[in-house]
């Protein structure tokens, strides 16, 4: 495919009128993912990666100095999760999780795959809901963070992993077994423990004051494995909690179509900037290749 022909990124505001909402790839939808997904046709998506709220902000420790100044930091340092989008009452969190996962199941094509990022806070609930929905669990991948946040309390082990639940709908799922071997330390089968750093350095999007623009920006390397393993070039990848657009960006780089949904317009703007840069770089690469 000639990269010049690739669609430019579009943003569709789905916060008010959802009647006749177009279903298009290469689009970031601004709005609530449950409402937006309800407008999409069933069995239309090959792969879903979801990084939902974990409902852990309310457990965050308050970290303030003697003067009471808020010392939550991010960027080079570490961040205490305290985001309003991440705070639910227990029963609301369960209801919310059931609702979005039901929509994801409806949208997945037969043979489609679903990956969900989570921590010990929500893994139990998600596994029960997914099994109630009769999706099939293939792996609980452990993402071992090579640079975890330090443990401040010194009263428990340092939390240094997240999980990525890998589920499929139906029997004929895509899995690029051979291709995954390149990520294995000894060139053999890729195991379900992935050692990757948290997103930091140049990859981490920063605000003008140097702090991280988003508290939970996922590393591109994590998405690269997921998208390469479970989709083919040209497949459609959906991220219902798109944040800074990491899934869209990696999908674009890997020649997949994508859709992102995010309900915070600042994160949508960040994603557009990020995606435009990537599209510009890919266009240049393509021109260079064709001139050779």
Ligand X SMILES: C[S@@+](CC[C@H](N)C(=O)[O-])C[C@H]1O[C@@H](n2cnc3c(N)ncnc32)[C@H](O)[C@@H]1O
Compute the least distance from the CB of residue 285 to ligand X, in Å.
Answer: 23
* Among residues 37, 57, 262, 268, the one that binds ligand X under rule CB under 6 A: 262
Taking residues 51 to 80 in sequence order and writing x for each that binds ligand X by CB under 6 A, - otherwise, the string is: x-x---------------------------
235 in contact with ligand X (CB under 6 A): no
Find the part of the chain contacting ligand X (CB under 6 A) among 120-128, 145-153, 259-267, 281-289.
259-267
Residue of 243, 268, 274, 275 that binds ligand X (CB under 6 A): 243
Q: Which is nearer to ligand X, 98 or 283 (CB)?
A: 98
50 binds ligand X (CB under 6 A): no
Q: Please, what is the end-to-end C-alpha distance for the chain in angstroms?
A: 16
131 CB-near residues (< 8 Å, 6+ apart): 137
Q: Is 37 an interacting residue with respect to ligand X (CB under 6 A)?
A: no
Helix 123-132 with 90-107: angle, nearest 10 deg: 50
User: By CB under 6 A, is residue 246 in contact with ligand X?
Assistant: yes
Residue 241 within binding range of ligand X, rule CB under 6 A: yes
**236-239: strand order across its sheet:** 10-13, 27-30, 257-262, 236-239, 45-50, 108-118, 161-168, 136-145, 193-196
Q: Does 264 bind ligand X (CB under 6 A)?
A: yes
* Binding-site member from 11, 15, 23, 32 for ligand X (CB under 6 A): 32
Longest dimension (CA), the chain: 63
Q: Give pairs for 32-38: CB < 8 Å, separation 24+.
A: 32/263, 33/100, 33/103, 33/240, 33/241, 33/261, 33/263, 34/96, 34/99, 34/100, 34/103, 36/240, 36/261, 37/100, 37/103, 37/104, 37/106, 37/107, 37/240, 37/261, 38/103
Q: Which of 9, 33, 104, 268 binds ligand X (CB under 6 A)?
A: 33
Interacting span for ligand X (CB under 6 A) from 16-24, 69-77, 225-233, 238-246: 238-246
Which position among 74, 113, 122, 216 is part of the footprint of ligand X (CB under 6 A)? Answer: 216
Backbone angles phi, psi at 227, to 5 degrees: -70, -40
Least distance to ligand X, CB of residue 245, Å: 7
Identify the residue among 173, 267, 275, 279 touching ligand X (CB under 6 A).
267
Residues that bind ligand X (CB under 6 A): 32-33, 51, 53, 85, 214, 216-218, 241, 243-244, 246, 261-264, 267
């Amino acid at each position: 495919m000639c990269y010049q022909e690739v669609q430019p990124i579009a943003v569709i505001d789905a916060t008010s009128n959802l009647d006749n909402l177009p279903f298009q790839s290469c689009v970031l939808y601004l709005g609530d993912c449950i409402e937006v997904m309800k407008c999409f046709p069933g069995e239309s998506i090959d792969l879903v990666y979801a990084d939902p709220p974990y409902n852990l902000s309310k457990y965050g420790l308050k970290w303030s100095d003697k003067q009471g100044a808020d010392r939550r930091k991010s960027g080079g340092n570490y961040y205490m999760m305290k985001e309003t989008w991440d705070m639910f009452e227990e029963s609301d969190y369960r209801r919310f999780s059931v609702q979005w996962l039901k929509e994801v199941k409806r949208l997945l094509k037969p043979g489609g795959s679903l990956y969900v990022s989570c921590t010990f806070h929500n893994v139990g609930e998600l596994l029960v809901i997914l099994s109630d929905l009769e999706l099939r669990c293939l792996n609980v991948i452990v993402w071992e963070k090579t640079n975890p946040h330090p443990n401040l309390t010194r009263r428990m082990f340092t939390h240094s992993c997240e999980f990525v639940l890998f589920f499929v709908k139906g029997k004929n799922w895509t899995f690029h077994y051979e291709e995954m071997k390149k990520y294995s330390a000894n060139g053999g089968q890729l195991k379900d423990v992935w050692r990757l750093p948290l997103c930091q350095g140049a990859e981490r999007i920063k605000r003008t004051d140097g702090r991280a623009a988003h508290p939970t920006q996922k590393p591109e390397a994590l998405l690269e494995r997921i998208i390469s393993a479970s989709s083919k070039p040209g497949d459609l990848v959906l991220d219902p909690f798109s944040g800074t657009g990491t899934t869209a960006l990696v999908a674009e780089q890997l020649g997949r179509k994508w859709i992102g949904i995010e309900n915070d317009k600042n994160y949508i703007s960040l994603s557009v900037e990020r995606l435009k840069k990537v599209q510009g770089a890919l266009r240049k690469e393509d021109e260079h290749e064709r001139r050779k």
